[in-house]
Amino acid sequence: MRLDKPIGIWLLMWPMLWSMWVSTDGQVNETLLIVFLFGVIIMRSAGCVLNDIADKNIDPFVKRTKDRPIASGKVSVREGKKLFLLLMAIAFTLLFFLNSATKLLAIVGALITTVYPFLKRFISAPQLFLGVAFGWAVPMTFSANLGYVNTTGWLIFVTAIFWSIIYDTYYAMVDRDDDINLPVKSTAILFGKYDLLIIGICQIIMVSLLILLAKIMNATLWVYLSVFISSCMMMHHQIITKKRQREACFRAFYNNHYIGMVMFIGILLNYYLPK
Q: Considering the domain delimited by 7-272, tell me its CATH architecture.
A: Orthogonal Bundle (1.10)
Do 70 and 56 meet the contact criterion of CB atoms below 8 Å apart?
yes
pLDDT at position 225, please?
A: 98
Compute the CA torsion angle 111, 130, 224, 22 (nearest 10 deg): 10
Distance of CA 185 to the CA centre of its chain: 18
Do 7 and 252 meet the contact criterion of CB atoms below 8 Å apart?
no
pLDDT at position 100, please?
A: 96
pLDDT at position 275, please?
A: 67
Tell me 148's DSSP state.
S
Q: What is the distance between the alpha carbons of residues 124 and 133, in angstroms, rounded to a whole number?
A: 17
Determine the 3-state secondary structure of 61 from DSSP: helix
**Cβ of 264: how many Cβ atoms within 10 Å?**
19
Do 41 and 77 meet the contact criterion of CB atoms below 8 Å apart?
no
- Average pLDDT across each block of 10 residues of the chain; the chain has 275 residues. List them in order: 94 98 97 97 95 90 88 94 96 96 96 87 87 96 98 98 97 90 89 97 98 96 98 98 96 97 98 83
Q: What is the distance between the alpha carbons of residues 209 and 188, in angstroms, rounded to a whole number?
A: 23
Break the chain down into helix, strand, coil percent, rounded to 5: 80, 0, 20
pTM above 0.85, yes or no: yes
Q: What is the distance between the alpha carbons of residues 235 and 223, in angstroms, rounded to a whole number?
A: 19
Domain ranges of the chain: 7-272
pLDDT at position 97, please?
A: 96
